């Protein structure tokens, strides 16, 4: 089979021939139809201490099941999070991290919706967004951000704002602007980092971190909540929390998936329900071949994507 790998930190991505993996106990072997490209994985290529397998969200058809698997069998269409080599024609999924794809969706939709949607939904849960409250989403044109905008609206937010990098009206390779996308998904307005974000909001969902944490906190109204779910780090002064009685909440999807499988399943069902009702529509920026994985990473690095970036083996 073909798979994408790299040999040194920050080194070039290349396609190699590798044996098809064998599913171990509790594992599924999946023929990959779509693979999600995420900012955390792109960062690992340049920041991890040593090369790591290129994993992440995958979707496709079960080819074989390992010992002890009870929920799936060959021929089932599934999606899930791969912790090994996922940029490949075949990949392994742990049964606990795998969910079925309903008949009305394809593999591309599943990858664009499920993992990113679960993160967005979980961030909204962490923010304790109440009906009528206002919310601002950073990285609003990203794979997670564009779903968070729609989910906030579906959950009754009174005002929804999207914040994006670079000029909101600047053209990106997809032929639309970030502002076009953000507003088309139900946001009341789209602002850019570094500009005024207007009236304070009740909640900020931040996927960027770093230097953006300070303006994100400043955008909150008194008693507002900032949910940080970025791998970008950053620091906040305690005094800035005290002044307005504000809160910062950390959110990590992996903790929910491993520690609260019941909640993980509840959110998954809510996502598919909202998709079936037309309240949430995942947007795909582009589908890349495995040989073009480096170009897919560059789209993420340059913040040029509108929606989800995919590899389609």
pLDDT at 257 over 90: no
pLDDT at 167 over 70: no
Same domain, 93 and 120: no
Here the CATH number for the domain that contains residue 182 is 3.40.50.720
CA distance 115 to 2: 24
Evaluate whether residue 111 is within a structural domain: no
What's the mean pLDDT in 279-288?
Answer: 95
Strands 220-228 vs 201-206: parallel, antiparallel or unpaired: parallel
Same domain, 237 and 125: yes
Cβ proximity of 203 and 133 under 8 Å: yes
Same domain, 95 and 128: no
What's the mean pLDDT in 180-194?
Answer: 93
Same domain, 240 and 161: yes
Q: pLDDT tens digits for 194-220?
A: 888 999 999 999 999 899 999 999 999
Selection from 165, 172, 241, 154 nearest residue 206 by Cα: 165
Q: Which residue has the higher pLDDT, 123 or 265?
A: 123
Rounded mean pLDDT of the chain? 92
State how many domains the chain has: 2
Provide the pLDDT confidence category of residue 169 given band limits of 50, 70 and 90. Answer: very low
pLDDT at 225: 97
pLDDT at 175: 63
Same domain, 85 and 152: no
Q: pLDDT tens digits for 9-64?
A: 989 999 999 999 999 999 999 999 999 999 889 999 998 889 999 999 999 999 99
Percent of the chain topping pLDDT 90 = 78
pLDDT at 259: 85
Same domain, 232 and 297: no
Evaluate whether residue 134 is within a structural domain: yes
pLDDT at 49: 87
Selection from 123, 122, 126, 73 nearest residue 98 by Cα: 73
Residue 154's domain spans which residues?
116-253
pLDDT at 295: 96
Same domain, 134 and 233: yes
Same domain, 122 and 249: yes
Evaluate whether residue 216 is within a structural domain: yes
pLDDT at 71: 94
pLDDT at 168 over 80: no
Same domain, 244 and 289: no
pLDDT at 281 over 70: yes
pLDDT at 136 over 60: yes
Evaluate whether residue 37 is within a structural domain: yes
What's the mean pLDDT in 148-177?
Answer: 80
What's the mean pLDDT in 222-247?
Answer: 89
Same domain, 129 and 234: yes
Same domain, 153 and 233: yes
pLDDT at 239: 87
pLDDT at 171: 47
């Amino acid at each position: 089979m073909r798979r994408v790998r790299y040999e040194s930190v920050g080194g070039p991505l290349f396609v190699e021939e590798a044996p098809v993996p064998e599913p171990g106990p509790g594992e599924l072997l999946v023929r990959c139809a779509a693979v999600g490209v995420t900012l955390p994985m792109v960062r690992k290529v340049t920041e991890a201490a040593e090369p790591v397998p290129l994993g992440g969200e995958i979707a496709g058809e079960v080819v074989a099941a390992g010992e002890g698997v009870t929920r799936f069998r060959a021929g089932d269409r599934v999606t899930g999070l791969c912790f090994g080599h996922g940029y490949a024609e075949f990949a392994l999924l742990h049964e606990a991290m795998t969910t079925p794809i309903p008949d009305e969706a394809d593999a591309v939709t599943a990858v664009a919706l499920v993992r990113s949607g679960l993160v967005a939904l979980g961030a909204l849960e962490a923010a304790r967004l109440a009906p009528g409250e206002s919310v601002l989403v950073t990285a609003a044109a990203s794979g997670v951000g564009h779903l968070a905008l729609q989910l906030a609206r579906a959950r009754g937010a009174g005002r929804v704002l999207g914040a994006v990098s670079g000029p909101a009206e600047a053209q990106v390779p997809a032929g639309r602007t970030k502002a076009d996308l953000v507003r088309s998904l139900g946001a009341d307005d789209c602002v850019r980092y570094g500009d005024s974000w207007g009236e304070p909001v009740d909640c900020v969902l931040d996927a960027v971190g770093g230097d953006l944490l300070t303006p994100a906190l400043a955008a909150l109204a008194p008693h507002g909540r900032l949910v940080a779910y970025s791998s970008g780090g950053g620091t906040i002064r305690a005094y800035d929390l005290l002044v307005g009685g504000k809160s910062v909440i950390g959110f990590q999807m992996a903790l929910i998936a491993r520690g609260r499988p019941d909640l993980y399943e509840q959110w998954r069902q809510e996502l598919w329900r909202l998709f079936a009702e037309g309240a949430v529509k995942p947007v795909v920026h582009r589908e890349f071949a495995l040989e073009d994985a480096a170009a897919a990473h560059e789209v993420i690095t340059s913040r040029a994507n509108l929606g989800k970036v995919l590899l389609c083996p």
